[in-house]
A = this chain, B = another copy of it.
Amino acid sequence: MTITGATRLLAIIGDPVAPLRSPAFFNAAFARMGRDTAFVAFQIPAGALERSWPAFEAMKNLDGIVITMPHKEAVMPLLADLGPTARLTHSVNTIRRRPDGAFEGDMFDGEGFRDGLERAGHPVRGKRILQVGCGAAGTAIACALARAGVADLTIHDSAAARQAALAALLRTHFPRTHVVLGPPDPRGFDIVVNATPLGLQPGDPTSIDPTLLVSSQVVADVIPNPEVTPLIAAARAIGCATTTGRDMHEGQARLAAAYLGIEDWNG
C-alpha cells in the first residue's frame, strides 16, 4: 500500500512505541483488504497527552486511536463519552469519532484476551480459572471472564491491595461469579492465566509454579513478546494447551477493528 495525501489514518498512542506490534498487524490487514488506511504510532510521553489531545481532535483525517501504556487511564477525562467496559475497568484502549466529530472510547483488552482464548478452542463459561496478576490488564481480563460466565475465579496478586480491589469490583458487578482470593497454586483449575508482567524480561521467574501443572490444563499468558514465555514453554513441555500474548493481541485487534467500524476485518 502506498500512503498518499488521501490515505486515512489510525494511530496508536503510547511510549515506547518501537516494540508495538499493532502497526504491522493492522497495516498487513489493510493491505489484504485493499483499504487505503495507514496505522501509525504517535510516540507521546507520559504527561504530554492532555496538551497533545487538541491536535488529535483537530486532525480531520484521523479516524480512530488505539491507546496503550502509559495513557490508558490518563485519556479518560479527554473523551466525550466512555463505553461500559471503560467505565468498569477505569481504562480505555480504543477510541473512535462520533458522528459529531468528538471522541468516545472503550476498553477491549480483557475481551480480546477472552476472544483469543475462546477462538483457540477454550470456552470459559462454567470453568474454574486461576488468574495471577490484578493490575490494569488483570482487571480487564477478570471482568471479561466474569462477564462470560466463569464458574469460579480465583485471583492472586503479590500486592494485596490490588487483589482486594479487584475482588471488590468483581463482587459488585458480577455477583454470580464465585470470586476467591487465593495463592498462585494451579492445582485443580481448568484454566490458568498469567496477567503479571513476569516473562517480559529475560530471567524473570514464572508467576505460577509450572511443576504443579498437569496436561489437562489450559495455560494462558498475556506477554506478547517474547511470545513463548518460560511459563508457556514449561506448560507446553508438560502437554498443556496454551494461548499466548499474541492470541490476546489478535483478539484485541479484532475487537478494536469492529469498534472502529472496519467491517471487512479478516485479521
Contact = CB atoms under 8 A, between A and B. Distances in A.
A3 B41 CA distance: 9
A5 to B, nearest CB: 3
Interface stretch (A15-23, A110-118, A132-140): A15-23
Contacts of A42: 9, 55, 59, 61-62
Nearest to A52: B55
A6 interface: yes
Contact of A20 (B2, B5, B22): B5
A40 interface: yes
Nearest to A59: B42
Taking the full assembly, how many copies of this chain does it contain?
2
Given A38-B38, A51-B58, A22 B43 contact: no
Q: Residue among A4, A17, A18, A43 with the most chain B CB within 10 A?
A: A4
A12 B23 CA distance: 20
Interface string A38-57: 11111111001001111110
Contact of A44 (B12, B38, B55): B55
Contact of A59 (B5, B18, B44, B53): B44
A263 to B, nearest CB: 22
Q: Which of A19, A55, A62 has the most CB of B within 10 A?
A: A55
A121 to B, nearest CB: 30
A258 interface: no
A102 interface: no
A28 interface: yes
A17 B5 contact: yes
A225 to B, nearest CB: 11
A7 interface: yes
A165 interface: no
Contact of A51 (B16, B41, B54, B61): B54
A5 B18 contact: yes
A24 interface: yes
Given A6-B19, A42-B61, 4 more contacts: A3-B40, A4-B24, A5-B21, A55-B55
